[in-house]
């Protein structure tokens, strides 16, 4: 018997030689890998901070509140970008929340396991579609076939089509986070509700959804954060490359914070221009970073509240 020839003794179990070295090395290597994420966070802050400071300390504050965002001409109207981001995000949520939440409730409370088995990968396929693809789809299909048919005044590039595109992109995100939240509601709550003679719709709307509400709020916040940070759909479908007048008309072209950063970097070989043009890119980047960071921290709170509860 091979086992009999290698009796286990204390010597074999002692942590010596190569085993000890491997153990120590492994610990340090794994720690360094994890610590790298703090370094990356520092790199992001560092790469934004220097040029943002140059911009904030040198910019003429009157140029931050003008008629539009034309960085190459020294007009840095920040409200154009914030309102543009806000409008596309609102449109996106009007698309993503009903569809994503509906799909989530269906998968978590109604669907048979066999249906769910098909539906979940389908949503994952949708989640895997790159945003450039949805940008092209928004420009060549949603804009002419949907938006311009419904609203005769819409231009080819418009914020409504871009917002719908962003919304489609966030459907799987809303669906998967909400579904997780509802599936983590214990079955005892549902059984108690059915035991009282409640119908399925009452159980879902009056028991499961209220019990999962923290997770659903988290889903909404994460989706808003993702929609604000989405670049390519707006860059391709909302037009306004280079600059945009202040506009609240979703049927016309517009510019978001993300698209402003991208369009400033695209088209020219070097990111240059009048005075602080280059630095304005970092200023908008910092604004975007802080805004999404805030939303993510709030969403994280809500997600953890669900975990603690059940």
Which positions from 161 to 180 touch another protein by CB under 8 A, shown as an x/- string? -------x--x---x-----
Q: Does 82 contact another protein by CB under 8 A?
A: no
Contact window for another protein (CB under 8 A) among 38-46, 61-69, 207-215, 243-251: 38-46
Structure tokens at 20: 């000890």
- What 3-state DSSP class applies to 86? helix
Q: Site for another protein (CB under 8 A): which residue of 5, 6, 37, 153?
A: 37
- CB nearer to another protein: pick between 66 and 88: 88
Q: Does 69 contact another protein by CB under 8 A?
A: no
d(CA 295, CA 223): 10
Query: Exposed/middle/buried for 287, CB within 10 Å: 0-12, 13-18, 19+?
Result: middle
Q: Does 155 contact another protein by CB under 8 A?
A: no
Closest distance to another protein from the beta carbon of 187 (Å):
19
Q: Does 27 contact another protein by CB under 8 A?
A: yes
- CB nearer to another protein: pick between 62 and 272: 272
Q: Does 133 contact another protein by CB under 8 A?
A: yes
DSSP letters for 33-68: HHHHHHHHHHHHHHHHHHHHHHHHHHS-GGGGSSSE
Residue 11 belongs to what H/E stretch? helix 10-13
- Start-to-end Cα distance in the chain: 51
d(CA 175, CA 116): 13
Contact window for another protein (CB under 8 A) among 63-71, 179-187, 242-250, 254-262: 254-262
Residue 269 CB partners (closer than 8 Å, separation 6+): none
Footprint on residues 265-284 left by another protein (CB under 8 A): 265-267, 269-271, 281-282
Only one residue has tokens 């009007």, namely 94
Q: Does 60 contact another protein by CB under 8 A?
A: no
Closest distance to another protein from the beta carbon of 204 (Å):
8
Closest distance to another protein from the beta carbon of 62 (Å):
26
Over the range 23-44, which residues count as b (16 or more CB within 10 Å of their CB) and which as e?
eeeeeeeeeeeeeeeeeeeeee
Q: Site for another protein (CB under 8 A): which residue of 152, 195, 197, 272?
A: 197
Contact window for another protein (CB under 8 A) among 60-68, 208-216, 232-240, 245-253: 232-240
Using the Cα atoms of residue 172, residue 173, residue 175 and residue 176 in order, give the sign of their dihedral.
Answer: positive
């Amino acid at each position: 018997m091979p086992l009999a020839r290698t009796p286990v003794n204390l010597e074999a179990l002692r942590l010596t030689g190569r085993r000890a070295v491997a153990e120590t090395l492994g610990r340090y290597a794994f720690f360094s890998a994890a610590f790298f994420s703090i370094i990356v966070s520092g790199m992001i802050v560092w790469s934004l901070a220097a040029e943002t400071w140059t911009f904030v300390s040198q910019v003429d504050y009157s140029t931050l509140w003008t008629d539009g965002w034309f960085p190459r001409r020294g007009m840095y109207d920040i409200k154009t970008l914030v309102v543009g981001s806000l409008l596309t995000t609102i449109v996106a949520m009007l698309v993503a929340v009903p569809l994503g939440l509906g799909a989530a409730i269906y998968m978590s409370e109604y669907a048979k396991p066999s249906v769910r088995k098909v539906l979940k990968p389908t949503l994952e396929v949708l989640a895997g579609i790159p945003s450039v693809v949805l940008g092209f789809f928004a420009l060549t299909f949603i804009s002419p076939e949907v938006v311009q048919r419904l609203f005769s005044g819409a231009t080819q590039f418009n914020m409504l089509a871009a917002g719908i595109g962003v919304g489609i992109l966030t459907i799987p995100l809303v669906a998967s986070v909400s579904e997780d939240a509802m599936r983590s509601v214990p079955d005892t709550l549902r059984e108690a509700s059915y035991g009282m003679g409640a119908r399925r719709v009452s159980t879902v709307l009056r028991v499961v959804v209220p019990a999962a509400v923290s997770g659903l709020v988290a889903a909404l916040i994460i989706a808003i954060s993702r929609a604000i940070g989405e670049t390519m759909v707006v860059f391709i479908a909302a037009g306004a490359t280079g600059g945009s007048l202040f506009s609240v008309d979703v049927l016309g072209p517009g510019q978001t914070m993300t698209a402003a950063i991208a369009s400033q970097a695209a088209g020219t070989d070097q990111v240059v221009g009048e005075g602080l043009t280059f630095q304005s890119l970092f200023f908008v980047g910092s604004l975007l970073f802080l805004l999404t960071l805030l939303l993510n921290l709030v969403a994280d709170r809500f997600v953890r509240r669900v975990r603690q509860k059940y």
